[in-house]
Structure formats: structure tokens, C-alpha cells
Structure 1
Amino acid sequence: MISAEKLDGLLSRFAEIEHRMTQNPDPTTYVKLSRDYAELEPLVARVMSLRRAEEELAGVEAMLADPAADTEMRALAELEQGELEESVEALRQEVRIGFLPRDTADDRNAILEVRAGTGGDEAALFAGDLFRMYQRHAQLKGWKVEVLSASEGEVGGFKEVIASVSGDQIFARLKFESGVHRVQRVPETESGGRIHTSAATVAVLPQAEDVDVDINDGDLRIDTFRASGAGGQHVNTTDSAVRITHIPTGIVVAVQDERSQHKNKAKALQLLRARIFDEERARLASERTEARRLQVGSGDRSERIRTYNFPQGRVTDHRIGLTLYKLPEIISGEALDEVIDALAMDHQATLLAAEGL
């Protein structure tokens, strides 16, 4: 349980920020104070609600302990006691969660990458299924998905597809999807009815802003080439496709989705910033042993995280041992929240234990 001193310290800090905002600070200071105020306000509201509920519970308990209280009042107090105890415990949990260290990338939009792994054509079809799952999920959440680059499979699906996803709390919700997703099913091309196992890799990167990554033009090698889309669409007409190499890191990105070379370059730079930003986050995380230990799984994109078993209608997330017999609802994106919520709750529980809250 969080100590009263720690809660008092939070309220004092919030009151000080409020006071400083009324003292006509310079614009830069005001912006920082406003940001701090907005970050603390929800937690302060929970703490105030908790303290009111604790006071009400103490009053009820005092009445029950009073031998002079009449029978009718005691009966009402007993009913109210149970409700207040539940409310106090729920608010305490909310406050504990509010004190957890935040991932500063949680509020960001994301770059979603899905790549076919082992399994040939079936892996490409599965990568397509996964991408459509995320598209449908995003549509249900009111998020926007924009394809940045796509390479289609020979019989459908994708060898690789990269998209930006924008909306509210995108990275916070999708970051647990990074890793190897495995499918077990009978391919349409399989005449013997044998179950095949294929895989696709998902990577979710927080989108970087210009201030996060300083890219010097001199560090870039930009090549243009002719796009090679499926079905002959705008193929071999102009050198509209763009490949950018970031020389210091060796990171290479290529985009050929748009007819315009200018638009492809803008998308490629957006993707490059995200890759560099993610690499820096990974480097910092590896230096913080404790932080890496607290991740859901290792965060390694070569780690198998989830299996979709079609014959059994089963989805299993191996990191937390969660099995749901809701494969059609999950692969359609409609029940994906159930998996993400379970992962987020497990992550919170691990952090709470580590922080001693």
C-alpha cells in the first residue's frame, strides 16, 4: 500500500504546480507546468476520491462500533460498509497503478510491420490475415491505418506490409503484439488434409517526432528505382520508389507505395525515424537490466508469442499462458482486446510487484 506521506507529497506537488501557473510564468515554463499538471490531474483526482471513500468507511465503522447506535442505523451501516470496502479497494488499486513509472512512448502513434516467416505461401497468407486483424481492430477503435509499404505474396497475403497507425493510446495497446505469431491449420492447397505450421513476425514501433531523432542529410544515401507493384500497377514508368540508407546505423528503408517520388520519400523518412527511435529505445532498455526483465516476454521479435490453432478454434498467448477458444472473433479483430487487456494487466501486476506497491 502507498504510504500517506507519499500521497501527501503528490498533493503538495500538484498544489505547487497550480500556484506557479497563476504567477504569470514565461511561456516555456508555462507549457512545462501545463504538461505536468495534465499528467498529474487524473491521479490526484483518484487520490482525492480514495480519501473521501476512506473517510466515509471510517465513519461507518465507527457507527458499527458504537453500542449506542440503534438497530435500524446499524443495519444500514452494515449494508454500506461492504460497498465502501469494495470502492476503497478498487480506488487503492487505481492509485497504485497511477504511481507506476510510465512508458513515455505509450501515447504515441505506431508503425506496424507484419512479415511472412517460415511456411512459404501459407506464411504470406497468414501475414495477410494478421494485418487484416489489426486493420479491423483499428477500425473498431476509431484508429486510422495508412499503408506505407507492401509486398504481396504470390497467392495472396503479404510477404511484408508496413503501416502507420494513429489514434489514442496506440503504442500502449499494440506494443505487446511484437514477436512471432504462429498458425496451425490445413492450407487450401493441401489435398491430404494435413495441418501445417507457419509463422509471421510482427513488429510495433513507436512513431518518432522530428525532435526525437536528429537526421542529418549528409548521413543519408537516397536511391530511387522503378516500382514493381502487383498486377502491373504503375510498374516501370518512373523512378518513383525510394530507398534510404542511414549510414551511421546501417538502417535501410524502402517505400514504393505512392506514384509520387516526393510522397514515397516522406513516408520513407517517417519509417526511418521510427526505426532509429526504436533502436535507441532498445539500446537504453538493454542498459537497464531491471526494465528489460519487466517486459512482457523478452521483447525479442524472434520470440514465439502466440499460436492460432484453427482446427481447435484456439488462440494461445505463450507469455502469460492465456488460451481463448475464440479464434474467429480474435482473428477478425473483434475480440483482440481480450488478449491485449490480459497482457496489459499481467504487465501491470509485474510492475506493481517490482515497485513494491
Structure 2
Amino acid sequence: MTVVGANLLMNNVEKYYKSFKAVDKVSLSVNKGEFLTILGPSGSGKTSLLKLIAGFEKINSGEILLNKENIETKKPYERNIGMLFQNYALFPHMTIFDNIAYPLKIRKLSKDQIRQKVMAMLEMVDLEGVENRYPKQLSGGQQQRVALARAIVFNPPLLLLDEPLGALDKNLRQKMQLEIKHIQQKVGITTISVTHDQEEALTMSDKVCIMNKGKLEQIDTPENIYQKPKSRFVAEFIGEINLIRGKILETEGKVAIIEIFNKQIVKAEMDEPDQFVQGKAVSIALRPENIYVTKDKPKYDNNISAIIKEVIFVGDALKVKVINKKQEEMMIKVKPSYKELLTIGKEIILNWDIGKCSLIGN
């Protein structure tokens, strides 16, 4: 069974609730078969954006195109979009077969077509043999797969996921992240998901869209969102990070030479060199796990000295808080085997690759 996905294009979309601007001139494109996750804090506009695509809310300005067709004036059922909700929204009085078959019955398919499609979906979501059971007889993860099967059984051009795994416990949620992603890839359906779970967004997505106060902060691959944030908000919102303040002394091609605390000199790559000039105040965004404590000769160009303030055991790693003479703190994360090097009060050398940090304007 193959679902043919669609391209989605949003151009300068705005949504107001009275005087509050929930979506502020958002433009984005989602390619056919792509999995995009919209991520952001509460009130960032991510759910409003999903409602606009689904047709549950009307836009105030802009346009939404699905396969080059303008859909913003269409009612939700006319858009033919699949939806997967956090609470599954299964019909408790219907069998699993009838739950999945429901979208096909209202589209007036024949009984033979319905049975063929439902059984194919049950096989795809690995639920063969449960068609005569009721939702309450299934686990949360199984119910989620039934809801997913119902959302795509009618071959929609687009699948929308609204906090799809929020009702599951952590272990099951992690398992379902991979299952939904595998099914999405197998079916080939264009998918847009909304979540507040950073791990879920990074695990499942081809691209991640970060929203803040109704605006798009960055749309990129999960790797670039994590390793190459383009704004202070994205850097601080995703995971743990060090933001080292400094000033650009000079630039060499795509590399900036920066003076940081204690007049120490480091380098950082510039993705957009035109934005960074000599004398500009910047911050170097550097993940704790990308910083090394050197035993011998430093491996990379960037080396700074710091004093150990605190060492915290977190299972598979040690979090080490260090401080410089200006009382500015940094956090590093190293393997537990480095514990013998980490005496509180000891001065150490921190070392990192210029390709493992990102430059952000202050």
C-alpha cells in the first residue's frame, strides 16, 4: 500500500485572536514525503499553525497551498487531511476494524474495498488479529497505532500529528517514536507534527521548525538545529549549551577569530560570513559534550583554561561546572573515566573543534 504525499507551502500566514498575533508572517515549505516537526514553548504558535493547516481556524492573511492548490477557504473535511490526536479519539463502542474503516465508510467505498484496506493497514501497523477487539482491550501503544491506521487508511495527501505521544509513558513514547517514523517512511506520506518534546522532534523528523512568539526562528535538519543554532533562542531552547561571549578580532574566509574572557583567543566557523564583521559582539554556542578535557597535547585549535567548580555524576557521564577568573561559568560533559582529572579547584585546559560550535550575534 502506498500513499502519495503532497507538497505544502505557506506564504506569509498570519493569525490574530483579537489583538494577539498567534502566527506572525510564517512562510515554510514541506516537501513531498517529508516529516516536519514544529517545536516551541507554550504560546509559541505551533498549535495555531497546525489548526490553520487543518482548517480548524481561518487565517487572517497569507496563503496555504497543498499540491499548489489554495486550501485556506476549504472546510476541514474538504481538505482530506489525516489527523492523529494525543488522546487517540477512537470510538469506544466500535471494534478496531470499524474504527479504522470509519473514514472509508463515509467516503462510500464498497465493503470489499473497505475490508481490503483495513486489513492491509492492520498488517502495516503490526496489529493483525485484533480487528474484532474494542479500544479498551488494547494497550496505549496499540491504540495509538490504531489511530494512526485510521488517519492514513484513506490515502490522505498530508498527515497532521498533534502531540501524538504526549499521553504515553517515557519508555513507550520512545518506542512509538521509532514505530511512527518507520510507518511514515514506509507509506511515504507528508507529515507535520506538533510537539513540545525536544527528543521526539530530533528523533522523528527530517526537518525541525522552531517557533517563538508566533515567528519561525529556524527551520533545519535535526543535526543543524542542535549543532548549528542560528539564534540565541534556538541555542538556549534545545538541550544544554554554553554561550561564550566575545568580540570578533578579524575574519579569515568563513572563520572568525574571537577574543573571549581573560583575553583568550578562539576560532569559530561562520555559516553566514556577511553577518559577522570585525569588532562585532558575538556569542559562541558550544554543547557541553563537544568540549574535551585534554590529558596531553590538545587535539583541536581552540584551547582555554578554566578552574573546576563542581563535578556531578549523571550515570553515563560527568557534568563538570568550570569557571574563569571573571566568574563566568561553563558546563562540560565527559566520560566517567575522566574523574581522576577532575579535582575541584584544579585548573584544566578545555579543547574543542571549531566545526562543533556556532556563532550567534548578541
> Aligning the two structures, in what range does the TM-score lie when normalised by the shorter sequence?
under 0.3
TM, length-normalised to structure 2? 0.26
Higher CA-based Rg: 1
TM, length-normalised to structure 1? 0.26
Structure with the largest fraction of strand = 2
Structure with the largest fraction of helix = 1
